[in-house]
Amino acid sequence: MSSAVPSTPPWNVQRLPRADGSVFLVTGGNAGIGYFVAEQLSATGATVVLGSRNPAKAEDAAASIRARIAGARVRTVRLDLADLSSLRTVAESLEVERLDAVVHNAGVALDDPPREETGDGHELMFGTNHLGHFALTRWLMPLLSAAPAARVVSMGSFAAKSERLDLDDLQSRKDYRPKRTYGRSKLAQMYFGVELDRRLRAAGSTVASVVVHPGGALDSLTPSRPPIHVRTTGARLSAVPAALLVQGKHAGAWPAVRAVLDPVVLGGQLWGPRAFGLRGEPRREPMWNHLTDSSAAARLWDASCDLTGVDPSAVPGTVPG
């Protein structure tokens, strides 16, 4: 009688696979969803590097992770996505021979006008959320290519689902509305993740690019991690009705964590929360229709090369000139 072949156990957000020896970089790992991505990845035995423009906040986050996870291998690196020239040195400052994954999570959102610009003259949200990660990926690519099967995980947003890019006004000079500009900046980041995977496949690279989004993730539903985040009793009680539809930022981290760790996840896929894309355990979901527009993605890629100074002819896996 033949024995049954054991099936792959279902994904369990509370019981992550080990990743000893791996090195993961999380941009914006000092707060919000990025902090919980870093905390959860640290529980796997991997070395987790928190990329942050604020060294003090990054050290607070690292201390919080160490206090919760015995033996956590976590450290910090200064990373300012709004300063493109500073990104050239990030790969070297990591002081590693390879990078098994980078989670492009960091971002800014402006609730009120006026429009702001980075030091490079780019609209702040587009420049940080998209252009910074676009340029950073090219500088990290040699380290990613040195890993057996590295992943670039781009953290999109449910807010991008209802937006469309204006390729003639990427910097929101003609039409600046904070929520719309934020949604479009995250949409650009998601387009980048999809287009990057196309180019990696064409180049025969071992690196894969995956796009994720956290669904609806609220501070009021997020467990406290003082001094990173403190949830008051009032905030917790007032958020009870919202918990039927959305979740906390600890759960918003789940799709990115799965995209880093699960061999079932493949490049070019989109992962988000199970229930209506807003809450629950991570699952693969159909690629949003507008993200399948390869022409728009290619145009955005070319524009991003121009705006960042990245060599458009550089093949994924090489350092740009």
Which residues are the active-site residues?
182
The alpha carbon of 257 is separated from its chain's Cα centroid by a whole number of angstroms, namely 10
Conformational region of residue 280, where left means phi above 0, alpha means psi within -120 to 50, and beta covers everything else: left
Q: Encoding tokens for residue 316?
A: 């994924």
Q: Which residues pair with 217 in a beta bridge?
A: 247
Output DSSP code: residue 132.
Answer: I
CA geometry: angle 237, 238, 243, nearest 5 deg: 85
Tallying the residues shown for the chain, one arrives at 321
What's the rounded Cα separation, in Å, for the pair 135 and 281?
A: 31
CA dist 202 to 66, 121, 136, 195, 315, Å? 41, 33, 21, 11, 10
Render 43-107 in DSSP notation, one character per residue: TTT-EEEEEES-HHHHHHHHHHHHHHSTT-EEEEEE--TT-GGGGGGHHHHH--S--SEEEE---
Give the number of other Cβ atoms within 10 Å of residue 156's Cβ: 30
**Using alpha carbons only, how large is the chain's radius of gyration in Å?**
19
Pairing of strands 101-104, 23-27: parallel
Does residue 273 have a cis bond before it (omega within 30 degrees)? Answer: no
Render 90-131 in DSSP notation, one character per residue: HHHHH--S--SEEEE------SSPSP-B-TTSSBHHHIIIII
What's the rounded Cα separation, in Å, for the pair 255 and 280?
A: 10
